[in-house]
Each structure stands twice: as structure tokens, then as C-alpha cells.
Structure 1
Amino acid sequence: MSEEKQVGIVLVSHSGPVAAAVVELAKELAAGGATAPVAAAGGTSAGGLGTSAELIAGAARSVDRGAGVALLVDLGSAVLTVKAMLAEGDQLPDGARLMDAPFVEGAVAALVTASAGGDLAAVEAAAVDAYDYRKV
């Protein structure tokens, strides 16, 4: 039996522990059943602060279920690295897309939407809408 197509999510941070923590937070907040595939790609391959195209590519491959991969990034070189990878076109799965969304709130919204069966456009819309979450 083949696996159902589902949007995968990759959280790219300069810090491995931050990326992993946001994955766990999003999974806990999206509770209520199985969640869409989500992976952290934080820090460098050597475990330091920074970004790693190798880690990002591996995480994207690990969550690819044929419906696209949403990449949420924290800042700076994470954005630049993902943009460069998308421009090269051969390191990320087909349908990989950088989301212009807040990292934490966007990750939660994206995972909830993907877990409910939303397509890549719906996942992106939910992540982007997280910019409008007001705190005061």
C-alpha cells in the first residue's frame, strides 16, 4: 500500500537545539493524532551555530511525501542558504518552497494545517497568516 501524499515541513535555524525545540513544540501543539512529517535542520554539520545545506537537504528528503516541502527559516544565512538551494534546483525535492512566515508561530500553523491534510498552498497561507497573530 502506498503512503498518502502529505506536505512535509523543515525548520531551519542557526541553532540545532532551537530547531529541534521548535519541532517538538509544534508537534505538541498540533497534538490530537499523527502529525505531518516535520524535521529540524539546525546549525552546522559540526554542531556549531550557522546553517548547513547538507543538513537542510537531508531533512527535506526525510519529510518529502510527494506533496511538497515547506521550509521555514529563522534569519540571515538560513534564508540565503535555502534561497540558493532552491535556485540551484537539485538539492531539494520537487515542490520545496521557502515560506515567508514567522519561525515559531508559522511552524505551528504550518504543521497543524499539513497534519489536517492541507496542500502546500494551504500550509503556506497558514504559516504566512501567523504574522497577524497579535500579542497585545
Structure 2
Amino acid sequence: MSNVGIVIVSHSAKVAEGAADMVRQMVGDSVPLAYTGGNADGGLGTDVGAIADAIERAWSDAGVVVLVDLGGAETNSEMAIEMLDDARRGKVLLSNAPLVEGAVIAAAEASGGASALQVKSMAEELQSH
């Protein structure tokens, strides 16, 4: 059984890379992980195509949880998820957990074999504290 994949989407390429680096240091290679940040011109922003590519890179039959930093990242991630075929679309969950802390907690849960819904819920529990 494969672990849930994690995708990190930030308006900043450096923030996305840094969050992914923290996740890797915490859980190693036990979780499929991809990240994307910045727009196509290298500035701040997000890119729907790059988000779709990141979902593909982190793909797992157990599902994928996408974590985002700001509203535009959420909108573009929703668009990227809509572009997926029906079978995959239903396995991708968008989380509104805090990006860095959420990614670390989500990856830790995923590395333990949790379901996509459990991974999303545990990451989002941070907001209620």
C-alpha cells in the first residue's frame, strides 16, 4: 500500500522549496512529495500547469493532499484539480492548513499510512489550537 502524496503550493519558489526540504528531513522518502512556487516568469504567484505537474509527481493511488499558502494558490490548485481525469480528481484533497506546519504534520501522518482524509484532517487541526 502506498502512502498519500503531499503537494506544497506557494507564491514563492523559495518558500515551497524550504517547506518541502523540512518535510524531507522529517519523513525522508517515505511519502511522495512535490512542490511548486512562483509564476511562469519567476515572480511571486502560482501557475495552474505547474500545480498540475506537481500533483502528477506526487501521485499516489492512496490520494494526494495539496497544501497552499494564499488565496490565489487555492484558486489555481482548484483549477489544476479540475483538469485531472475523473478517476484521479476524486483522490486529490485541498487543505487549508498552515503551509509549513501543515505540510510537516500531513507528511508525518502520511508516512504512517493514514488515509488522504486523515492526513488532511490532522493538518487542519492545527488551526483550531
Aligned-CA RMSD value? 2.0
Q: Quick check: 2:9–2:36 contact (8 Å CA) kept in 1? A: yes
Q: How many residues align?
A: 128
Match of 2:127 in 1: 131
Match among 29, 48, 52 for residue 47 of structure 2: 52
Distance 1:78 1:58, change over 3 A: same
Deviation at 1:5, TM superposition (A): 2.4
Deviations 1:74-111, CA, capped at 9 Å, x for gaps: 00210111123334554993311101211111111000
Distance 1:12 1:6, change over 3 A: same
Unaligned runs of 5+ in 2: none
Q: Quick check: 1:69–1:93 contact (8 Å CA) kept in 2? A: no
Match among 10, 16, 19 for residue 7 of structure 2: 10
* Equivalence map 1:1-136=2 (5 Å): 4-30=1-27, 34-90=29-85, 93-94=88-89, 95-133=91-129
Aligned partner of residue 93 in structure 1, secondary structure: helix
Q: Point out the more displaced range, 38-47 or 109-118.
A: 38-47
Deviations 1:99-124, CA, capped at 9 Å, x for gaps: 12111111110000001111101101
Q: Distance in 2 between matches of 1:60 and 1:92?
A: 14
Aligned partner of residue 88 in structure 2, secondary structure: coil
Q: Distance in 2 between matches of 1:75 and 1:44?
A: 14
Q: Distance in 2 between matches of 1:12 and 1:116?
A: 23
Q: Percent same amino acid at aligned positions? A: 36
Q: Which amino acid aligns with 1:46?
A: D
Deviations 1:32-90, CA, capped at 9 Å, x for gaps: xx420111111123322110111111110011121111000000210111123334554
TM-score (norm 2): 0.88
TM-score (norm 1): 0.84
Q: Quick check: 1:19–1:41 contact (8 Å CA) kept in 2? A: yes
Distance 1:30 1:6, change over 3 A: closer
Q: Name which one, 1 or 2, has greater alpha-carbon Rg.
A: 1
